[in-house]
Amino acid sequence: MVTPNRSVRKLRDQARRRGDDVKGRLRLLAMSVRAHGRHGTPGEVVEEATNLDPIMDAAVARARRAMRPAGIDADYDLAYEHFDVMHFLLQARHLLSAGSVDPLQHFLDKGATAKASPEINFSMRAYLSRYPGKASGRGGSSPYVDWLKRGKDAGEIADPAPGLEKMAPVLGMQPEELVKALADTRSDLQERLRTGTLGAMFARATQIEPLIGDVWTETTRPIIPPLVSRNIVGQVVAMHACQQAAAFAGARLVLVASDPRWGGGRRMEGHIAHALTGRLEAHDIVVIYTDTGGTAPPGRFPAGVREINFASEVTGADRYATHRTLVELIRSFHADAVVNINSRVLYEAMTAYGPALAASERLFLMLFCNEQLAVGSWVGVPLRFFYRCFDTVQGVITDSAYLANWLLERHQLGPEQGSRIYVLHAPVDPHMPLVSPPTSDPSRRPQVFWAGRWDRQKRIDVALEVARRMPDLDFRMWGESVLTPGHVDESPDNVRLEGVYAHVSDLALSEADVWLYTSGWDGVPSQLLEVGMTGIPIVGSLVGGTGEVLGEDDSWPVADLEDPEAYVRAIRDVIADQTRARRRARALRERLLQERTAAEFADHVAGLLLRGAARKQGEEDAG
Amino acid sequence: MTTDLTVIVTAHNETAVCGPTMRAADLAVGAARARGFTVQTVIGLDAPLPVTLVYFQQPHFDHWERRVLDERDLGMVRNALVRGCDSRYVAFLDADDLFSENWLAEGVAALDAAAARGEHAIAHPELNVIFDGESAVLLNIDQGSPLFTPYYLYFRHYYDSLKMAPLEAHLEMPYVPRDVVNGLSYQDFHFTIESLASGWRHIAVKDTIIFKRRRDFSLVTESNTRKSVVRALPAMAIDRIRDLGSARRDLGSARR
């Protein structure tokens, strides 16, 4: 939009180049538009009255008089046509008392480091952050001059609004359309503030409350919603992107998970989703990954469950902004229940927004186990966040009675409080076939299978030590190194490293004589539930909730998990009488089939999480 | 209704800071009357400190009606005062803020013009100017602007609480109580969302300003503010948010 003042200014600038013969006429023209801000040539500057204080008007006129005449420097002359003296001086207020300083030359000399902007719709910082290569102007000129010469017409964006390109699609615009809308808005505001009614009202209020006058500087950078700050833009854009990923549809269940979680199998979140699909549609379930993005392995969720990569959408965002965004996203689904599955971001958000969130949402925490650090101390979600969130949430869910009881005892909870702690017994897959034992061959070396993450929890060191003590057996180990790659080099000759695997069923299970499990701490691991269904004898550490799978009568639990010899004895016991061992292992399968049915699990989950669902009598709540 | 506008200044513990406020309010009221509008002026004193009571009992405020309440919640104070109004429009002013001189006159004119167009409108000044403890110039975005997106309302309010609205709007959508303990706040923000969902049109009135004084700003205040949210509202649901602001209220229709 070209304003009348700018037209006049351009005329005058052109005239400067033509010579003195037109100056007289221009002076008359200047007199006629003295109410409007414009530039003048040195020596004939007319002090223009604006809504700012007359002292400022005088300072602007003084600065204009200090500016160079035309025809000496083409770059200067080009910048002069666009340079807004009052706008610049309102920012560079130190120049107002610096005597006779040419503000444009001052700006140009600063080059890429100039902070004050030369006109309201140009920001050096915003321009150079988009085009870092422009920091060194051609021939040493200011990036602003380069932008005026070439960049502006080439569509290079120098608008000061934060996050402009990101916000444009949310507003249904192309970035260049948004640039124009913002520029028109700012220019119009600036014009009306300086010489229109808007500014007159500002000035009038300043007479009543002089402190208002100190805000004139801020008129050089008006805040124009929704482009308020990088954080706000990031929040709005992330919210829009996540809702778009969710197809702008509500949900009945929102699972907020830290990440797609390593390993195949359904895991608890998958079990919950599958259990409810008989009662609601798969698309009624949303999974939000908050800490690390990605997608779950195939099969974890029923087809149609929506997965939202929140973590990727908020990359680089301020943590408080991230918390708020997650809270608003969760609330926007208006779900029956929200389950936090190890989402650190949600736990942190709940410390600030927990009560507000709980005012509208039925929140549940899914807890598994704590973990031991390398120095021996214990940390973890149950330790850190249970007490922080317990009073706020609808309920706490554990995968083991062990953890539920631990929470009750540690926090000395009575029956009423304890009744909000629920144990979900993950179901087993009855379709998982019994695996045939290896053929009986005296010349064959027995094989011990081990699989899992190669991290501290899984106690690779113990598994390798067991292998060292049993050179007559072969140990086949699957899994990728997560935290402790060092152990790879420590494996003895009878250990075969098989690499990564997706699911237990992918392994050559018919070659396994024994399944070894050496975890140092745990809930009820999916792996034991899966292997338990195969009929392969399990020798496993008795920690956390593993005892709810491994019974003395149907497997070989090892109480002293630090003692490799205890595992060795148990494995020897299995190998010594494979027929008896298989019979015992099949008993485990039968027990799991009875104790962990999909139907009971589904009833329990539905009763707990779905609004209006009848709570099943006799469900096994810890309280 | 014989009165065009009621102006309500609310105070709790303020005294000397109200001098510029009341002077600006008087000028704006005078300008509105000069345009031919009838204006009722009310000072609402909510659980006032003794010094505040004494301050506002000065004779030079006698042309303002004084009402003392004990709500201890700004939204509830406004609700109570609005119930006692018999004007077409109501405008609020906090005891430490200022109106531009033309706000009341232009606000009434803008609402009248909207009504003439068949719109149920709620008016906001064009600019919020933050002064004293902080400095900022914030543009209020008209609902019809291409810069208006309801997604912004998940995180920020487009407007300040010092709006001008038909009495009908306040009676239909009274402010909800604050729930500071649970971090549910922003009564005016809540009002905006509810009114948008009900088809009220939020307009920015050209060339008008409110001046918001920031006193005793601290990071703690900022931090606490950041931890409050608006109550979860149906209009903000994922499948409804896109349409927020697109509803049109029929003339004479009741809310919802």
Same domain for A417 and A467?
A: no
In a domain, A219, yes or no: no
Low-confidence ranges of chain B (pLDDT < 50): 219-220, 223, 252-256
In a domain, A215, yes or no: no
Residue-number span of the structural domain to which A519 is assigned: 447-595
In a domain, B140, yes or no: yes
From A196, A211, A248, residue closest to B242, measured CB to CB: A248
Cβ distance A196 to B149 less than 8 Å, yes or no, reads: no
From A197, A215, A225, residue closest to B137, measured CB to CB: A215
For chain A, what percent of residues have pLDDT higher than 70? 89
Task: Say yes or no to pLDDT of A623 above 70.
Answer: no
In this prediction, residue B250 carries a pLDDT of 58
In this prediction, residue A33 carries a pLDDT of 38
Residue from A189, A193, A331 whose CB has the most chain B CBs within 10 Å, to mutate: A331
In this prediction, residue B181 carries a pLDDT of 86
Residue from B148, B152, B202 whose CB has the most chain A CBs within 10 Å, to mutate: B152
Question: To the nearest whole angstrom, how far is the Cα of A167 from the nearest Cα of chain B?
Answer: 10
From A185, A215, A327, residue closest to B129, measured CB to CB: A215
Mean pLDDT score, A558-579: 95
Question: To the nearest whole angstrom, how far is the Cα of B126 from the nearest Cα of chain A?
Answer: 9
Which residue's entry shows tokens 């070894």?
Answer: A516
Contacts of B130 in chain A (CB under 8 A): 215, 218
Cβ distance A225 to B141 less than 8 Å, yes or no, reads: yes
From B137, B226, B234, residue closest to A219, measured CB to CB: B137
In a domain, B249, yes or no: no
Position A615 confidence tier, pLDDT thresholds 50, 70, 90: very low
Same domain for A417 and A481?
A: no
Contacts of A249 in chain B (CB under 8 A): 238-239
In this prediction, residue A128 carries a pLDDT of 97
Same domain for A374 and A502?
A: no
In a domain, B235, yes or no: yes
Strand partners, B67: B44
Same domain for A410 and A468?
A: no
Cα–Cα distance, A100 to A80 (Å, whole number) = 17
Is residue B2 exposed (0-12), middle (13-18) or buried (19+ Cβ within 10 Å)? exposed
In this prediction, residue B219 carries a pLDDT of 47
Q: Is A534 helix (H, G, I), strand (E, B) or coil?
A: coil
Cβ distance B183 to A333 less than 8 Å, yes or no, reads: no
Contacts of A352 in chain B (CB under 8 A): 183, 226-227
In this prediction, residue A613 carries a pLDDT of 62
Contacts of B20 in chain A (CB under 8 A): 208-209
Sign of CA dihedral B161, B163, B164, B169: negative
In a domain, A53, yes or no: yes
Structure confidence by residue, pLDDT tens digits, A418-458:
999 999 999 999 999 999 999 888 889 999 999 988 788 88
In a domain, B256, yes or no: no
Residue from B137, B148, B202, B213 whose CB has the most chain A CBs within 10 Å, to mutate: B137
Cβ distance A236 to B155 less than 8 Å, yes or no, reads: yes
Q: From the centroid of its chain, how far is CA A338? A: 18
Cβ distance A356 to B183 less than 8 Å, yes or no, reads: yes
Task: Say yes or no to pLDDT of A54 above 70.
Answer: yes
Task: Say yes or no to pLDDT of A483 above 70.
Answer: no
Question: To the nearest whole angstrom, how far is the Cα of A621 from the nearest Cα of chain B?
Answer: 29
In this prediction, residue A488 carries a pLDDT of 63
Q: Which residue did the predictor score with more confidence, A263 or A506?
A: A506
Residue-number span of the structural domain to which B187 is assigned: 3-243
Residue A547: give its domain's CATH number: 3.40.50.2000
Mean pLDDT score, A227-240: 97
Q: Which residue of chain B has the CA closest to A185? A: B139
Structure confidence by residue, pLDDT tens digits, A373-387:
989 999 999 999 999
From B102, B152, B226, residue closest to A320, measured CB to CB: B226
Q: From the centroid of its chain, how far is CA B43? A: 15
From B100, B147, B239, residue closest to A205, measured CB to CB: B100
In this prediction, residue B39 carries a pLDDT of 98
Same domain for A113 and A66?
A: yes
In this prediction, residue B2 carries a pLDDT of 83
Structure tokens at B94: 């906090």
Q: Which residue of chain B has the CA closest to A194? A: B207
Question: To the nearest whole angstrom, how far is the Cα of B252 from the nearest Cα of chain A?
Answer: 31
Residues in contact with A257: Cβ distance below 8 Å, sequence separation at least 6, in sequence order: A269, A287, A288, A289, A290, A341, A342, A343
Cβ distance B27 to A352 less than 8 Å, yes or no, reads: no
Count of domains observed in chain B: 1
| Domain final residue pick, A138, A153, A168 | A153
Report phi then psi at A540, rounded to 5. Answer: -145, 155
Same domain for A26 and A125?
A: yes
Q: Whole-prediction pTM value?
A: 0.89
Structure confidence by residue, pLDDT tens digits, A401-410:
999 999 999 9
Position A99 confidence tier, pLDDT thresholds 50, 70, 90: confident
Count of domains observed in chain A: 3
Of the candidates B103, B107, B109, B121, the one whose C-alpha atom is nearest the C-alpha of residue B211 is B103
In this prediction, residue A17 carries a pLDDT of 40
Residue from A201, A214, A218 whose CB has the most chain B CBs within 10 Å, to mutate: A201
Q: Which residue did the predictor score with more confidence, B76 or A18?
A: B76
Cβ distance A209 to B226 less than 8 Å, yes or no, reads: no
Mean pLDDT score, A148-170: 96
Task: Say yes or no to pLDDT of A45 above 80.
Answer: no
Question: To the nearest whole angstrom, how far is the Cα of A238 from the nearest Cα of chain B?
Answer: 10
User: Which contacts (CB < 8 Å, 24+ apart) does range A202-207 have?
Assistant: A202/A51, A202/B100, A202/B129, A202/B209, A203/A51, A203/A52, A204/B27, A204/B100, A204/B101, A205/B24, A205/B98, A205/B100, A205/B101, A205/B129, A205/B209, A205/B211
In a domain, A476, yes or no: yes
Question: To the nearest whole angstrom, how far is the Cα of A333 from the nearest Cα of chain B?
Answer: 6
Residue from A87, A208, A239 whose CB has the most chain B CBs within 10 Å, to mutate: A208
Cβ distance A327 to B229 less than 8 Å, yes or no, reads: yes
Position A486 confidence tier, pLDDT thresholds 50, 70, 90: low
Contacts of A214 in chain B (CB under 8 A): 131, 135
Question: To the nearest whole angstrom, how far is the Cα of B103 from the nearest Cα of chain A?
Answer: 9
Same domain for A59 and A139?
A: yes
Same domain for A245 and A293?
A: yes
Same domain for A395 and A456?
A: no
Cβ distance A215 to B232 less than 8 Å, yes or no, reads: no
Cβ distance A171 to B149 less than 8 Å, yes or no, reads: yes
In a domain, B252, yes or no: no
Cβ distance A334 to B232 less than 8 Å, yes or no, reads: yes
Same domain for A518 and A398?
A: no
Cβ atoms of A196 and B207 closer than 8 Å: yes
Cβ distance A360 to B152 less than 8 Å, yes or no, reads: no
Cα–Cα distance, B14 to B21 (Å, whole number) = 11
Cβ distance A332 to B158 less than 8 Å, yes or no, reads: no
Q: Where are the beta strands (DSSP E) in A138-291?
A: 253-257, 285-289
In a domain, A438, yes or no: no
In a domain, A145, yes or no: yes
Structure confidence by residue, pLDDT tens digits, A466-480:
999 999 999 999 987
Residue B201: give its domain's CATH number: 3.90.550.10
From A172, A205, A223, residue closest to B137, measured CB to CB: A223
Strand partners, A256: A288, A340
Mean pLDDT score, A58-65: 94
Cβ atoms of B46 and B74 closer than 8 Å: yes
Same domain for A44 and A142?
A: yes
Strand partners, B205: B125
Cβ distance B232 to A331 less than 8 Å, yes or no, reads: yes
Task: Say yes or no to pLDDT of A40 above 60.
Answer: no
Task: Say yes or no to pLDDT of A2 above 60.
Answer: no
| Strand B136-139 to B121-132 pairing | antiparallel
Cβ distance A356 to B184 less than 8 Å, yes or no, reads: yes
Identity of the amino acid at A481 = S
In a domain, A622, yes or no: no
In a domain, A18, yes or no: yes
